[in-house]
Each structure stands twice: as structure tokens, then as C-alpha cells.
Amino acid sequence: EKWDYKFYGINEFESLRMDPQHKFILDSTYMALENAGITRKEIKGSNTGVYIGVMNGDYSSSFAQSVLDFDNYTVTGTNDSIISSRVNYVFDLHGPSMTIDTACSSSLIAIHTAHQAILSGECEMCIAGGVNCLLKPDTFIQLTKAGMVSPTGQCQAFSENADGYARGEGCGIVILKSYEKALEDNNPIWATISTASNHDGHTVSPITTPSMQQQIELLNIVFKRFDVDPQSIDYIEAHGTGTKAGDPVEVKALGTFFQTDKNSTPKIIGSVKTNIGHLESAAGVAGLIKVLLMQKHQQIVPSLHFERPSQDVPLDEFKFKVPMKPSPWPDTTRDVLRSSVNSFSFGGSNCHAIVTTPKTKNLLTQTDHMNKKVVCISAVDIESLLNMKRALCENAKDLQLADLSYTSIYRRDHYPCRLAVAGQNTIEVLKILEGTDVDKHLMVKYQPAKGKKYIFVFAGLGTNWQGMCQEMLKRFKVFRSTIEDISKHLERYANWNLFENLQNGFDLEDANIAPIMTFACEVALFFLVESFGVNPDAIIGQSIGEVAAAFASGTVTLEQAVYIIYHRTRVQVQGTGGKMFVATNIEIDKVEEVLERYESQANVSVYSSPMSCAISCD
């Protein structure tokens, strides 16, 4: 009942019939896109693929008790295939959409399938992961009778006390792009990933028995295919369920592959299932996210419920160590951190991922403490805006203000209810934000007009002031470089330097300089605004602004525009005598009728509008 269905364009009646797994996937997808700095507008209509691992349908089976509970939303709200399709629908994604069920390896195989789509060129970006929600006791009973779940309610992976796995709930989503595309789009890159998958076939019996042969074969495939040295692996995130059938086979398979001789390096091995339970169809992505977080922070987290290994799990023989307390990442001479992630299913579908992160962290090299920066938050309604404000104040204290400002402006979707504050550092901004009473604050609900168009207007004389654009020259490279280009073109005609005059200040009353300064600043501002991603649908100009508008519209080149503005200014200065009047609130046709009596003595020199003009006369 607390789920924000309006945020996704879903009505209340449909929301009530939706499997919670649909909702978890939508929320996690949005959070993953935010983490990647990708807006809904940016991916709308793209060939982004969606691959989601799901295996349990507790919610749909609850409707079998009474047909009176069915309505027109039940079929889509309870169907597993709609889980992935709903992501495509809500975010308007046109790439492939697959809901994948290979039981406990579902989410990592979904990520592997997305990985293949990226490599093949089928998609430029993929959303992949898995979800698991436990709502009924039926499956618990079945797994208990099969001897798979733990009577003690704990995953005690590799331990002498291991007695089965504990079921868990959760959802995880990751965003995949090619490395080159992620760099091009300036996305934060957590790691690179290489994956492979295979099946046990009939190498073992019954079907639920794990195959050591096929687990070793899978490792051979992925490490050879992507030319990775097995000895470069620092940490292994095992499937590690804590079952008597699974753990011994997995450890022997891993040991046989990694520890090929006495010189093989020791490996740290763990399982996230000991921390959060076995998320079944979301288990693989949970293990992957755990590895991503550990490599980001260069810390190894402990696997719980382990003191001594089971006699059937030969950890010492294969130089495997289970971490029992937090510790720094192993110190090596390699310039990367690298881990392996295993994920298997009781039906024999196996998947493995190699995860690599550069060891050196990207550090902020320069911070501007002199200028204020704006931080924006927005939401679909006031209540959500309050929640956004509260979350930002609680979680953003350690962030750099430049990062916070950039992300909030350029890497977030902007919704109708908006609030913006400015300050010189993060603490100041959050203090102002925390002290802002949203209920009393004048809140303008932004309503974007349909078919909204942008018009750039370039003005004429009277727009100069002392010290104008000096801050722009210091802060914006595109503005500065444009002024430098105009200055170089102007050197052919003028005996003064435009850049130096603008930087050091100039005489506003100097008719030889002021009009050219106005033109130069208008052109530089045009390039600056375009660099922010704002492009005009129409361009108009008046007086000096007509020359800038001619350039901005592509009618003349920059070199030609400088030539025009220089000679226009020169001719205007040489002209002496005469008067100019502004006529307003009168039709121009009537003005021209009057001026016919004074032929060659007066004329309309500027047509500002149908009811406004300038008159030049003797």
C-alpha cells in the first residue's frame, strides 16, 4: 500500500493485482539507472534489452482459491513473463525482453544472456538481474521433504554444521554496456564482466545432483574464451548453499581448476548466502553485487556461521580460506582486483562470471570552493519531494558538492514538483535544504507544455554592463574559446584586441567597441547554452542581434559574421546627424502612410512588431 504506483504511470486498481516481484523489479531498475546516471528520457525508445530471472510465483497461486478475486488486471499482474515486459513498457524500451527461469542460477544466467546481447551488438545497453519473494509455505514444505532447506534456518556454507539452505527474499539489478560505450556516455563503471554458461546434461543422476565435471568444464570455457589467467583471481564468490550435496562438489571443482600445482596461490572463498540467505532466482545477482561492493571498497567481508570445515569439503587441500572477519583486499602486484562468481541450479544450469575492477580509485583532482553550485531535487508530488529531501540530507554529507550538483542537474529525471538550493559546499547546501519547509515554500508545480519549443532571441544595443561575461571567461571553456576565435577573426580589421578588452573591462560608451562586444557575448552564450543540451527550434534577432542570429541559424559563418558586425559598426559610427523615434501601439501601415508625406526625409528603420517600430529621420 506504500508503493508509489503513480510514479510508474500505474493506476491503483492495477497496483493491487501486481505480484510484489513486479514492483521490486521496477524500483530496483530505477535505482540502478540512477546509480548509472541514466535518465528515463535518455533511454526512451532505445534498443535496451531487459533480462530478469524469476522462479517463484507465490502471489499468482494465491488467486487460485477463488475465481471471485479475478479481474482484468489479474492476468498481467500475476504472469511472470510480464515482469520483464513491464520494465520495457514503463521505460519505453524497444530491445529484447526475457523472463528467465533456470531456478537458482536464473539471475546470473539473465546477466549472461544480457552480456551476450551486448557482445553480439543486438543491444547497446541491457538491464539484468533477478527477484525472489516468498509469500506462501507450499515451497518451504516441498523443499523440506526434499531435504534441501536447513532445519536451523541458516546457510552454513562449507561448515561441519551445514544442514541445508535458508530461503531469502531480495531483488538485484545491474546495468550492462560495452566498456567503450560506457566511457563515451560518461557512466560510472563499477567493473568489467565476462560470463559463460553450460548444463550438466546426463553426466550425473538424478537430475538434482551437481556435476563436478561440468563445473570444471565451465571454468575452462570462461577463462579460455576471455583469456584470463586463473591465478589472477583474488576472491571466489561460491554458490555455497550449505547443502551436503552441493558444497563438497563445488569446492572440489574449484580446487581442481584453480590449484593446478603446489605453486598455485591461495584463494579466499565465501558465500553471500550465509549473510542474507539463499535468494534462489536472485542469488546470482546478489553474489555479483556483493563482489562489486567489496572490490569498490577493497574489503573482504566475512562469511557467517563458519568455524571448522566439513570433512567432505577439502578447503585446506586446495588452499581455500573462508573469511571469518572483515579484512583488506589481498595485496598483490597486479593493477586490478578480480573475482569469480559461481551460480548453479538444481536442474543443472550453471553460470560463471569473472569480475574485474581497476585497483586505483578515481580521485577528484580539483574542487571549486569559490563559486556556489545548485542542487536540485524533484518528485511527482509534495509527499515524495519531502522523502527525497529527507533522504538527501541523511545520505549526502560525504559527497563532493560538484558531483552532487552535476548529478542532480544532468543525471536525474526532473518531475513536476521541484526544489533547488545553492551553496559553496555540501554541508551548506544540506543545511539550507534541511531548513526549507516544503509545505510553506512557494512550490511551483512545473507543467511541461505539449509540443514545447525553444526560441533563442538575440538582443540589440543597451545590453552591456561593466565587467560583463568576465566570470564566464573564467568558468566555461566553451565560452572562452569562442571569444578567442572571434578575437582572432577581428584582428584582420580592428587595431584593438576583443579578448583583452572583455577580460580587462572596456568603455561602454565607445561606439567602436560596444556593439561588437554585444555580438561576441551573444555568440559565446549561444555555444554555451548548446553545450548544456538546449537547442533552439527558432532564432530571432534585433539590431546587433540580427548578425548573431544569422550566424546561430547557419546563414553565415563565424568569419563572415565578424566581418559584417565590424563594418556595420564602422558605418554606423561614421554616420552623423539625424534623429530616431520609437512608435508603439500603432499599426505600422498607418505609420508608413504618414511617412509618405516626408519622402527621403523619414522612414521606418526597424520593424519590431505589427504595432511597434523605429523611425529614422533628418
User: CA–CA separation, 243 vs 161, rounded Å?
Assistant: 10
Question: Where is average pLDDT lowest: 14-28, 230-244, 465-479, 583-597?
Answer: 465-479
Contacts (Cβ under 8 Å, ≥6 apart) of 414: 376, 378, 446
- Please indicate, yes or no, whether residues 582 and 562 belong to a single structural domain of this protein: no
Instruction: With respect to residue 477, please indicate whether it lies within any of the assigned structural domains.
Output: yes
Question: Angle at Cα 593 formed by Cα 588 and Cα 595, nearest 5°?
Answer: 90
Instruction: With respect to residue 601, please indicate whether it lies within any of the assigned structural domains.
Output: yes
- What are the helix and strand counts (H, E) for the chain? 23, 19
| pLDDT, position 472 | 86
- What are 321's strand-pairing partners? 268
| pLDDT, position 367 | 47
CA within 13 Å, CB half, 391: 9
User: CA–CA separation, 526 vs 541, rounded Å?
Assistant: 12
Cβ 526 vs Cβ 548: under 8 Å: yes
**DSSP-derived secondary structure for 510-552:** -TTTHHHHHHHHHHHHHHHHHHTT---SEEEE-THHHHHHHHH
Percent over 70 (pLDDT), the chain: 95
Cβ 100 vs Cβ 180: under 8 Å: no
The number of folded domains in the chain is 3
Quick check: helix, strand or coil at residue 410? helix
User: CA–CA separation, 286 vs 129, rounded Å?
Assistant: 9
- Please indicate, yes or no, whether residues 460 and 608 belong to a single structural domain of this protein: no
| pLDDT, position 460 | 85
| pLDDT, position 71 | 79
Instruction: With respect to residue 514, please indicate whether it lies within any of the assigned structural domains.
Output: yes
Instruction: With respect to residue 69, please indicate whether it lies within any of the assigned structural domains.
Output: yes
| pLDDT, position 366 | 44
Instruction: With respect to residue 122, please indicate whether it lies within any of the assigned structural domains.
Output: yes
Could you tell me the residue range of the domain that residue 70 belongs to? 1-133+169-187
- Please indicate, yes or no, whether residues 519 and 598 belong to a single structural domain of this protein: no
Query: In which band, very low, low, confident or very high, does the pLDDT at 369 lie, cut at 50, 70 and 90?
Result: low
Indicate the residue type of 362. Answer: N
The values of phi and psi at residue 112, to 5°, are -60, -40
Query: In which band, very low, low, confident or very high, does the pLDDT at 67 lie, cut at 50, 70 and 90?
Result: low
Looking at residues 511-533, what average pLDDT do you find? 91
- Please indicate, yes or no, whether residues 617 and 571 belong to a single structural domain of this protein: no
Query: In which band, very low, low, confident or very high, does the pLDDT at 44 lie, cut at 50, 70 and 90?
Result: very high
- Please indicate, yes or no, whether residues 563 and 582 belong to a single structural domain of this protein: no
Instruction: With respect to residue 68, please indicate whether it lies within any of the assigned structural domains.
Output: yes
| pLDDT, position 445 | 56
Question: Angle at Cα 301 formed by Cα 299 and Cα 302, nearest 5°?
Answer: 150
Q: Which three cell numbers stand for residue 311?
A: 570433512
| pLDDT, position 66 | 62
Instruction: With respect to residue 503, please indicate whether it lies within any of the assigned structural domains.
Output: yes
| Long-range contacts, stretch 220-223, CB < 8 angstroms, 24+ apart | 220/257, 221/196, 222/194, 222/195, 222/196, 222/352, 222/353, 222/354, 223/354
- Please indicate, yes or no, whether residues 54 and 174 belong to a single structural domain of this protein: yes
pLDDT digits (tens, 9 = 90+) for 101-134: 999 999 999 999 999 999 999 999 999 999 999 9
- Please indicate, yes or no, whether residues 536 and 459 belong to a single structural domain of this protein: yes
Question: Where is average pLDDT lowest: 351-355, 412-416, 480-484?
Answer: 412-416
Helix 382-395 and helix 426-434, axial crossing angle in degrees, nearest 10: 140
User: CA–CA separation, 92 vs 44, rounded Å?
Assistant: 5
Q: CATH code at 476?
A: 3.40.366.10
pLDDT digits (tens, 9 = 90+) for 198-237: 999 999 999 999 999 999 999 999 999 999 999 999 999 9
Instruction: With respect to residue 408, please indicate whether it lies within any of the assigned structural domains.
Output: no
- Please indicate, yes or no, whether residues 604 and 500 belong to a single structural domain of this protein: no
Contacts (Cβ under 8 Å, ≥6 apart) of 316: 309
pLDDT digits (tens, 9 = 90+) for 459-494: 887 777 888 888 888 888 999 999 999 999 999 999
Q: Is residue 365's pLDDT more than 50? A: no
Q: CATH code at 94?
A: 3.40.47.10
| pLDDT, position 465 | 80
- Please indicate, yes or no, whether residues 613 and 527 belong to a single structural domain of this protein: no
- Please indicate, yes or no, whether residues 555 and 601 belong to a single structural domain of this protein: no
pLDDT digits (tens, 9 = 90+) for 175-193: 999 999 999 998 999 999 9
Looking at residues 341-361, what average pLDDT do you find? 93
- Please indicate, yes or no, whether residues 528 and 557 belong to a single structural domain of this protein: yes
- Please indicate, yes or no, whether residues 555 and 604 belong to a single structural domain of this protein: no
Question: Angle at Cα 172 formed by Cα 166 and Cα 175, nearest 5°?
Answer: 155
Average pLDDT of the chain is 91
pLDDT digits (tens, 9 = 90+) for 328-350: 999 888 999 999 999 999 999 99
Percent over 90 (pLDDT), the chain: 71
Q: Which three cell numbers stand for residue 110?
A: 539473465
Residue 147 CA: distances (Å) to CA of 57, 164, 272: 21, 7, 21
User: CA–CA separation, 136 vs 57, rounded Å?
Assistant: 9
| pLDDT, position 363 | 41
Residue 286 CA: distances (Å) to CA of 134, 188, 289, 518, 582: 16, 20, 5, 58, 72
